[in-house]
Structure 1
């Protein structure tokens, strides 16, 4: 059984969602970053952390890629053109969507007050908005970014959409991207994950 360390209000959500999609059993320790529980597993104090037997893995993208590859689901095989295209969407999510959200977060409550640059948040929102336009073009009329096949790229993008709501970034209320985000939230695995975590809280 896998163990996932990290509060739900973090990138740990990506790992938990993926484990539900894979149908794999897990236990969840909703520890906060820099807590003793996290530092015991990851000296950097960062989350999420995945415990798989004696192995300790960090970084949500690395963890999700490992799990998907290990179980041969929610991903295209490494070394294929489809995998390269999938990885392109994952990298787009990290660079363009998460990058704007993370920079805004660091300058809102993560950095010490004397290091924050509050004015950068308007730039982050503009960059995020531009990225959504790119996503709309790349998505086209497909149900998921890779067509009919749901992949970890969708999980990363879906997580960013939820993060954007919390960060009060504008999301489209209609159109293909809005429908895509709704489609992701309606997946049974996503709903199952949220229900389990609510029961545990």
Structure 2
């Protein structure tokens, strides 16, 4: 078995969770390294040597260090779990489109709304809800008649949008109007190796 990669993460971070989730789903040998955001560990050395942006997650794979959750998903899929990233050029482009959605509307929508309610961030919750609605409306329409976001098998696209979408209700964003999207979340949750993100009820550390 190859040496374990190290995933530097925070247990309540959806960006961290998508990397941890993929490592589990892809059968990638890994260990979790918790970063204490409350203590500002991510803004100090030695963490800043790993990621000068001071953000989790970061993956160490031997001498290779990768930051940014979507970049990490692509790297891990290419190296360890190629079945999760289509080789067909059109489908690969589709995956990249959903990675952009995860980094854009999902991050500025449900993820931001959750930052307000869970972490007390001083951000515009109403704007975040509007952005989330736009993103979820698109996803709901896209998922009509589909099992997965791209093609007929799960991919890193499904992993990328899962965490903050599934936890949108923590940001006071209901998924009630999105049956197709809820079915997608349920399919992800039935995949072998699935691991949920820690509930905010367990305790806040950020």
Q: Fold match, TM over 0.5?
A: yes
Q: Which one has a larger percent helix, Structure 1 or Structure 2?
A: 1
- Distance apart, 1:157 and its partner CA: 1.0
Alpha-carbon separation, structure 2, partners of 1:38 and 1:163: 27
Which of 5, 8, 12 in structure 2 is aligned with 1:5?
A: 8
Unmatched segments (≥5 aa) in structure 2:
none
- Distance apart, 1:189 and its partner CA: 1.8
Indicate the residue corresponding to 2:89 in structure 1: 80
* 3-state SS, counterpart of residue 59 of structure 2: strand
Instruction: For CA contacts below 8 A with separation 6 or more, give which structure has more relative contact order.
Output: 2
Change (3 A) 1:22 1:193: farther
Matched, 1:39 2:48: yes
Q: Give the aligned CA root-mean-square deviation in angstroms.
A: 2.5
- Distance apart, 1:51 and its partner CA: 0.4
* 3-state SS, counterpart of residue 189 of structure 1: coil
Indicate the residue corresponding to 2:77 in structure 1: 68
Change (3 A) 1:192 1:171: closer
What is the TM-score with the length of structure 1 in the denominator? 0.82
Q: How many pairs does the alignment contain?
A: 188
Unmatched segments (≥5 aa) in structure 1:
none
1:168-194 alpha-carbon deviations (Å, 9 max, x no partner)? 221126621121112212222214897
